[in-house]
């Protein structure tokens, strides 16, 4: 084959690769563009600062849903981080622990379960004993979705930390828990942060598990023991409503949700890039 | 109890599952001397070394039999805390292992700080002392707060030595500490060993016979998991008793 033909084939392959990339990215750009165009009109000061208007009336805002999303999502992330990081440490640092096969099975099954089932679990665990819906129960449902993501990310990144670090710490006469908490975990912090961000992004977009846990609340509240609204919930309720103005606001909710999740993903990537590197 | 030696193994065997890595080794480590362990790859010298501060404890398939006496007391006796053993018997590894998130200073005092010593002056004095012992002080004294991973390989290894010395161990185990280093760094560490033995007992594994001959007072020759010969270094290298030792040191195998 002549050199000229080889150059030609090289070009052709490059072209195909670019084309493939474009095909993958186009739908994503389309979705984002559409959400942006439809949603940007709904965004104004009222949208961010007011409680929703009564059904059928124009105006009103998303303040309870925005605040509720923050409270429920961060609470969920806190619960999930505690259990997820602990499980990841057990799996990675104590590979022979008798609990591990069970833990791995549960984690894998949980990762594959439909999100709405997590809502059901939270309903049974929290809503029923409390006797009413609450932001807390929503956070529990979302935490159940987040835990396997955090567990996997933590296990994965801890396994990347050289075993020599652990041995060097032990050889200094440090107890095992000290080595893990002060030497191994700090070395892995970037990767663990990434896992937390990805889990947050995943949980923040869920509406189904919140339908019968957080439930929704048109009034602003900071108390997670009361029912709470979140953006995906509001998006769902407004989108299936018959009111033109609610549809508009649903697009607005979709836009800030998409923006927030993209931000979380971006931060996750940044954490990965700087994690493990010297400060 | 008045122990004749700083450390002593009695019929020490180490098994990986059913496979014996070290068999029936009885060896004495003389106080404030350098003992070198030599032998071909896979002869069990590293396995033996790691048994001396219970580094095998982490690997559930490894079984250790026999006794390892530290100042006359068996470190494998029931009730002995391996963490306490490792504070007295430190270890330096083949590859330098600076803790990646820590500065030079934090690395050196890690063994002290992480067990709760917070007094800045005491930490600083310990760091200076350890870095001077490791012949690294002059090179790093102006950048103690810089990341340790920014040091060269040879400096990182001396940092690892300083870090091990900072907790003031009685015995320092070194597992081929210069095999990943260039000749100049190797020279620096060999020079260091001769000064170090004034204050600490050293056991060093090396694949480099010249190194053993240069730095050690006693040499043990291992082959296939067994201790073939143990003697004063000049005696073992000039007048070995065993033909296998002679074959190895004259370069006929390994």
3-state secondary structure chain A: CCHHHHHHHHHHHHHHHHHHHHHHHHHHHHHHHHHHHHHHCCCCHHHHHCCECCCCCCCECCHHHHHHHHHHHHHHHHHHHHHHHHHHHHHHHCCCCCCHHHHHHHHHHHHHCCHHHHHHHHHHHHHHHHCCCCHHHHHHHHHHHHHHHHHHHHHHHHHHCCHHHHHHHHHCCCCHHHHHHHHHHHHCHHHHHHHHHHHHHHHHCCCHHHCCCCECCCCCCCCCCCCECCHHHHHHHHHCCCCHHHHHHHHHHHHHHHHHHHHHHHHHHHHHHHCCCCC
Number of neighbouring beta carbons within 10 Å of residue A41: 12
| Residue B247 distance to chain A (closest CA, Å) | 34
For residue B111, the chain A residues in CB contact (below 8 A) are 172-174
> Is position A138 within any domain?
yes
Is the Cβ of A100 closer than 8 Å to some Cβ of chain B? no
Number of neighbouring beta carbons within 10 Å of residue A225: 12
Is the Cβ of A276 closer than 8 Å to some Cβ of chain B? yes
What's the domain count of chain B? 1
> Is position A18 within any domain?
no
Residue among A171, A187, A189 whose CB faces B164 most closely: A171
Expressed as residue numbers, the domain containing B177 is 7-96+169-249
| Residue B40 distance to chain A (closest CA, Å) | 23
| Residue A5 distance to chain B (closest CA, Å) | 47
B39: left (phi over 0), alpha (psi -120 to 50) or beta: left
> Is position A195 within any domain?
yes
For residue A186, the chain B residues in CB contact (below 8 A) are 101
What pLDDT is recorded for position B4?
A: 65
- Give the CATH number for residue B45: 3.40.50.300
ipTM of the modeled complex: 0.91
For residue B160, the chain A residues in CB contact (below 8 A) are 168
Query: Chain A residue closest to B52 (CA)?
Result: A171
Average pLDDT over every residue of B88-115: 95
Task: Compute the distance between CA of residue A148 and CA of residue A140 in angstroms, rounded to an integer.
Answer: 13
Is the Cβ of A13 closer than 8 Å to some Cβ of chain B? no
Which H helix or E strand runs over B14? strand B7-16
**pLDDT, one tens digit for every residue, chain A (279 residues):** 789 999 999 999 999 999 999 999 999 999 999 999 999 999 999 999 999 998 878 888 999 999 999 999 999 999 999 999 999 999 999 988 999 999 999 999 999 999 999 999 999 999 999 999 999 999 999 999 999 999 999 999 999 999 999 999 999 999 999 999 999 999 999 899 999 999 999 999 999 999 999 999 999 999 999 999 999 999 999 999 999 999 999 999 999 999 999 998 888 888 766 544 433
> Is position A125 within any domain?
yes
| Residue B108 distance to chain A (closest CA, Å) | 10
Nearest to A146 by CA among A198, A209, A223, A213: A198
| Residue A148 distance to chain B (closest CA, Å) | 27
Query: Chain B residue closest to A161 (CA)?
Result: B100
For residue B114, the chain A residues in CB contact (below 8 A) are 169, 172, 174, 178, 182-183
Task: Compute the distance between CA of residue A122 and CA of residue A126 in angstroms, rounded to an integer.
Answer: 6
Four-point Cα dihedral A189, A192, A194, A198, nearest 10: -160
| Contact present, A47 and A234 (Cβ < 8 Å) | no
Asked if B100 and A165 come within 8 Å (Cβ–Cβ), the reply is yes
> Is position B188 within any domain?
yes
> Is position A185 within any domain?
yes
| Contact present, A123 and A213 (Cβ < 8 Å) | yes
For residue A162, the chain B residues in CB contact (below 8 A) are 97
Task: Compute the distance between CA of residue A114 and CA of residue A230 in angstroms, rounded to an integer.
Answer: 19
Average pLDDT over every residue of B193-197: 93
Task: Compute the distance between CA of residue B53 and CA of residue B66 in angstroms, rounded to an integer.
Answer: 14
What's the domain count of chain A? 1
Asked if A168 and B97 come within 8 Å (Cβ–Cβ), the reply is yes
> Is position A12 within any domain?
no
What pLDDT is recorded for position B3?
A: 52
Q: Which residue's structure tokens are 């043990």?
A: B220
Residue among A96, A173, A278 whose CB faces B87 most closely: A173
Is the Cβ of A168 closer than 8 Å to some Cβ of chain B? yes
Expressed as residue numbers, the domain containing A109 is 60-274
What pLDDT is recorded for position A56?
A: 79
Asked if A169 and B87 come within 8 Å (Cβ–Cβ), the reply is no
> Is position B55 within any domain?
yes
pTM of the model: 0.86
Mean pLDDT, chain B, as a whole number? 94
For residue A165, the chain B residues in CB contact (below 8 A) are 97, 99-100
> Is position A34 within any domain?
no
For residue A171, the chain B residues in CB contact (below 8 A) are 53, 55, 86, 90-93, 164
> Is position A173 within any domain?
yes
What pLDDT is recorded for position A57?
A: 84
> Is position B141 within any domain?
no
For residue A271, the chain B residues in CB contact (below 8 A) are none
Asked if A189 and B163 come within 8 Å (Cβ–Cβ), the reply is no
Average pLDDT over every residue of B199-219: 95
Query: Is the pLDDT confidence value at B73 over 70?
Result: yes
Q: Is B193 helix (H, G, I), strand (E, B) or coil?
A: helix
Task: Compute the distance between CA of residue A57 and CA of residue A158 in angstroms, rounded to an integer.
Answer: 53
- Give the CATH number for residue A214: 1.10.3720.10
């Amino acid at each position: 084959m002549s050199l000229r033909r080889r150059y030609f084939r090289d070009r052709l392959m490059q072209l195909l690769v670019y084309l493939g990339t474009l095909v993958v990215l186009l739908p994503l750009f389309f979705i984002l563009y559409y959400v942006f165009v439809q949603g940007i009109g709904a965004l104004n000061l009222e949208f961010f600062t007011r409680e929703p208007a009564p059904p059928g009336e124009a105006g009103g805002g998303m303040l309870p849903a925005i605040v509720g999303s923050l409270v429920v999502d961060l609470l969920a992330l806190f619960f999930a981080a505690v259990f997820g990081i602990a499980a990841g440490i057990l799996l990675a640092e104590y590979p022979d622990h008798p609990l591990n096969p069970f833990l791995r099975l549960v984690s894998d099954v949980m990762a594959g379960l439909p999100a709405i089932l997590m809502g059901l679990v939270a309903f049974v665990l929290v809503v029923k004993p409390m006797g009413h819906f609450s932001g807390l129960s929503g956070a529990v449902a979302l935490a159940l979705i987040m835990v396997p993501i955090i567990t996997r990310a933590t296990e994965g990144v801890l396994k990347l930390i050289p075993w020599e670090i652990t041995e060097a710490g032990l050889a200094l006469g440090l107890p095992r828990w000290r080595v893990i908490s002060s030497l191994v975990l700090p070395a892995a912090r970037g990767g663990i942060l990434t896992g937390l961000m990805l889990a947050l992004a995943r949980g923040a977009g869920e509406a189904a598990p919140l339908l019968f846990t957080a439930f929704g609340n048109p009034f602003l509240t900071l108390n997670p023991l009361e029912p709470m609204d979140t953006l995906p919930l509001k998006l769902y309720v407004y989108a299936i409503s018959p009111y033109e103005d609610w549809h508009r606001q649903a697009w607005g909710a979709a836009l800030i949700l998409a923006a927030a999740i993209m931000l979380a993903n971006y931060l996750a990537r940044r954490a990965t890039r700087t994690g493990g590197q010297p400060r | 109890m008045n122990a004749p030696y700083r450390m002593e193994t009695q019929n020490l065997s180490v098994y990986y599952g059913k496979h014996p890595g070290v068999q029936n080794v009885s060896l004495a480590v003389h106080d404030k001397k350098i003992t070198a362990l030599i032998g071909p790859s896979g002869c069990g010298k590293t396995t033996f070394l790691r048994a001396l501060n219970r580094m095998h404890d982490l690997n559930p398939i490894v079984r250790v039999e026999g006794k390892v006496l530290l100042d006359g007391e068996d470190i494998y006796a029931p009730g002995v805390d391996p963490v306490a053993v490792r504070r007295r018997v430190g270890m330096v590894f083949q590859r330098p292992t600076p803790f990646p998130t820590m500065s030079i200073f934090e690395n050196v005092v890690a063994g002290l700080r992480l067990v709760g010593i917070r007094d800045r002056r005491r930490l600083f004095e310990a760091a200076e002392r350890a870095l001077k012992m490791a012949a690294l002080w002059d090179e790093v004294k102006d950048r103690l707060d810089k990341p340790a991973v920014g040091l060269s390989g040879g400096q990182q290894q001396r940092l690892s030595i300083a870090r091990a010395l900072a907790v003031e161990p009685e015995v320092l185990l070194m597992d081929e500490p210069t095999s990943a280093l260039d000749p100049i760094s190797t020279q620096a560490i060999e020079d260091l060993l001769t000064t170090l033995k004034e204050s600490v007992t050293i056991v060093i594994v090396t694949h480099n016979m010249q190194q053993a001959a240069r730095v050690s007072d006693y040499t043990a020759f291992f082959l296939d998991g067994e201790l073939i010969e143990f003697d004063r270094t000049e005696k073992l290298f000039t007048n070995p008793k065993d033909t296998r030792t002679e074959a190895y040191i004259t370069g006929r195998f390994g």
